[in-house]
Structure 1
Amino acid sequence: MASSTLTTVFLPIALAIVMFGLGLTLTVADFTRVARVPKAALLALGVQVLVLPVLCLGLVLAFDLEPVLAVGMMLLAASPGGTTANLFSHLAGGDVALNITLTAINSVLAVVTLPIVVNLAISGFLDGDEAIGLQPAKMLQVFAIVLVPVIIGMVVNNRFPQFTERMRGPVKVASLVVLVAVIAIAVYTERANVVSYLRAVGLVALLLCVLSLAIGYLVPRLGRVEPRQAIASSFEIGIHNSTLAITIALSPSLLNNTQMAVPAAVYGILMFIPAGAFALLIARRNAKALVGQ
């Protein structure tokens, strides 16, 4: 299965669709917007890059996950936010423009930070098995699958704005379909062990999402960031690009390990529960605040 058409052809194409769709929503201004909201952006990026891997490591150690699943959890934690975060932020009344900016910057940073976190996890949990790490040559592949489709999408957005406007809706739908399909592939490849893996990582994945959402909201608020930006930060930090994590785990030219894809697949299903509940809670609170004015 690891070397089948599903993993060698479909997964890279699927991820390219998702990242191209992200690129269609981006402009150069999204990268420069951080200068206008430096506190909100820097706090969110700091939590995403520094706090989240430490939080995930604490959960992995507390629940004593088996080594391969532990690496898979760290891979998930190191993955940037995705377009799903933007959707939940919009539903909760967050600053979606900040979400887009954070997603853009995080996607660029992930080219460097993701291999570092994964390699450290492999070194710590798998006794430094270099055969399945992300060496420099593989990091170039991560760059290609993460940033090249985004750049193409940005170019299309800049050159053909009317086409982009028509395509944004269909591409969003396609991205959601791709996410479901990628999760289904990851579950299918480990179908014999799905129940045991769900028991092993289900609670950890759920806690990672809940704690990430909470920290992503509370840290900016403690830093006196306004509520809409804190909501955006919360979803950006709390919702990860599980499509990217699964693709890197399953790809024969990258990690080539189906077990490492399990945490991201489980997370991709479970994260809708806390994310949806949090979005509903915030939306209701905002509605009450408007009524009380």
Structure 2
Amino acid sequence: MTASPLLTAFLPVALGIIMFGLGLSLTLADFARVVKYPKPVVIGLVCQILLLPFICFLIANGFGLAPALAVGLMLLAASPGGTTANLFSHLAHGDVALNITLTAVNSLIAILTMPLLVNLSLSYFMSADQAIPLQFAKVLQVFAIVLVPVALGMLVRRLTPAFAARMEKPMKLVAALFLAGTVMLALMKDWATVVEYAPLVGAAALLFNLVSLGLGYYVPRMLKIPKRQAIAIGMEIGIHNGTLAIALALSPTLLNNSTMAIPAALYSLIMFFTAAGFGWWVSRNPEPVAVLD
């Protein structure tokens, strides 16, 4: 597969703007909440990092996905929560401060967990001549893709908080537009495979999305986490950063496989409807509880 100039130019710009926008919404206090409120954060991270990849593995095998599609679904499971989770959590009366903390911490952890899970998935699902492992140099690229724009956004917020506040809504709109563009690029890049596998991959992505939302909400509730925080955790691990997964799959210097981007592209379309329905379902009877500072 050869890299088109459009692909080479668009993906870094799209990811950079989306991650920069995330950084504009973060402060060091968001990371400090891990110490102040460890239980909901730890539960959310355990669900995100350990339970979801295992469930995704079972789904990929159960649906008998082709190797590249299975790796693409696992790549999606390894991706941190997306900024869209904050919006849906707010609409569903969730604890948005917890969402922001989980996104911040998991984005850092994903720098290590994403390459690890992708390499394990490549080894399991694909033959040696098909696999393109994420070696150390490529792990550094993931680090730069995820962390550098976020750090720049946080720096801008610290230096010019008024500007960061004014840019919050415009950046959300821009991020949504870039998400749509990235999804369309992923679908167009391997359209024949999309048409052939859309029902199967779409069903697998839908099941994974529903399980993610349910797991993220009901596991915390069973562990006596307040409802608003459980809603936040459900949204956080049920709405993955599909743009990041697509970018890693399509990037000419990383995986460079358009088929691997298909699960994340279909998931990114499905999640808006499922998250809206989930938000309506869990917010019908609000439960007054204390929120994170």
Which TM class, normalised by the smaller chain length?
Answer: over 0.9
Provide the residue aligned with 1:119 in structure 2: 119
The within-5 A match list for 1:12-161 is: 12-129=12-129, 132-161=132-161
What amino acid does structure 1 have at the position aligned with 2:30?
Answer: D
Whether the 8 Å contact between 1:2 and 1:258 is mirrored in structure 2 is no
Question: Could you tell me how far 1:284 is from its partner in structure 2?
Answer: 2.7
Cα shift at 1:220: 0.7
Q: Could you tell me how far 1:283 is from its partner in structure 2? A: 2.8
Q: Structure 1 residues 250, 230: CA separation in 2 closer, same or farther (over 3 Å shift)?
A: same
Q: CA deviation at 1:130?
A: 7.7
Deviations 1:66-111 (A, max 9, x none): 1110000000000000110111100000000000000000000000
Per-residue CA deviations over 1:111-136 (Å, capped at 9, x if unaligned) read 00000000000000113458511111
Give the whole-Å Cα distance in 1 for the aligned partners of 2:243 and 2:128: 25
Q: Residues 231-256 of structure 1: CA distance to partner in whole angstroms, max 9, x if unpaired?
A: 00001011100000000000000000
- The superposition leaves residues 27-51 of structure 1 with CA deviations (integer Å, 9 ceiling, x where unpaired) of 0000011112111000000010000
Instruction: Call closer, same or farther: CA 1:138–1:232 in 2, change over 3 Å.
Output: same
**Is the 8 Å Cα contact of residues 122 and 131 (structure 2) preserved in structure 1?**
no
2: distance between equivalents of 1:129 and 1:164?
Answer: 47
State the AA in 2 paired with 1:270.
Answer: I
Aligned AA for 1:213? L
Please report how far the alpha carbon of residue 193 of structure 1 lies from its aligned counterpart in structure 2 after TM superposition. 2.7
2:213 is aligned with 1:213? yes
Matched with 1:177 is 177
Larger mean CA deviation between 104-113 and 190-199 belongs to: 190-199
Deviation of residue 2 (structure 1)?
4.4
Distance 1:24 1:140 in 2: 23
Q: Distance between the aligned counterparts of 2:2 and 2:284, measured in 1?
A: 45
Query: More displaced, 35-44 or 193-202?
Result: 193-202
Match of 2:237 in 1: 237
Percent identity over paired residues: 55
Q: Classify the secondary structure of the residue corresponding to 1:134.
A: coil
Code of the aligned partner of 1:34: V
SS at match of 1:276: helix
Report if aligned partners of 1:122, 1:129 keep a CA contact under 8 Å in 2: no
Quickly say closer, same or farther: Cα 1:188–1:75, change in 2 above 3 A.
same
Unaligned runs of 5+ in 2: 289-293
Measure how far apart 1:20 and its partner are.
0.3
Alignment-derived partner of residue 194 in structure 2: 194
Supply the distance in 1 between the matched residues of 2:164 and 2:179 (Cα, whole angstroms): 21
- Matched position secondary structure for 1:285: coil
2:6 partner SS: helix
Query: How much does 1:54 deviate?
Result: 0.1
Give the letter for the 2:47 counterpart: V
CA distances 1:157-196 after superposition (whole Å, capped 9, x unpaired): 0000111111111000000001000000001111223222
Cα separation, 2, equivalents of 1:192 and 1:122? 23
The residue type paired with residue 212 of structure 1 is S
- Mapped to 1, the partners of 2:268 and 2:26 lie a distance apart of 24
Larger fraction in helix: 1
Give, as a single letter, the amino acid of the residue that structure 1 aligns with 2:246.
I
Partner residue in 1 for 2:273? 273
- Post-superposition offset of 1:199: 1.5
Q: How many residues align?
A: 288
The one-letter amino acid of 2:26's match is L
Structure 2 residue aligned with 1:163: 163
Q: TM-score, normalised by structure 2?
A: 0.96
CA contact (8 A) 2:81 2:241 kept: yes
**SS class of match (2:240):** coil
Gaps of 5+ in 1: none
Contact (CA 8 Å) 1:2, 1:257: kept in 2 or not? no
Letter in 1 for 2:258: T
CA distance in 1, matches of 2:215, 2:284: 20
Q: What is the CA-CA distance between 1:282 and the residue it aligns to?
A: 2.3
CA contact (8 A) 1:2 1:250 kept: no
Partner Cα separation in structure 1 for residue 151 and residue 197 of structure 2: 36
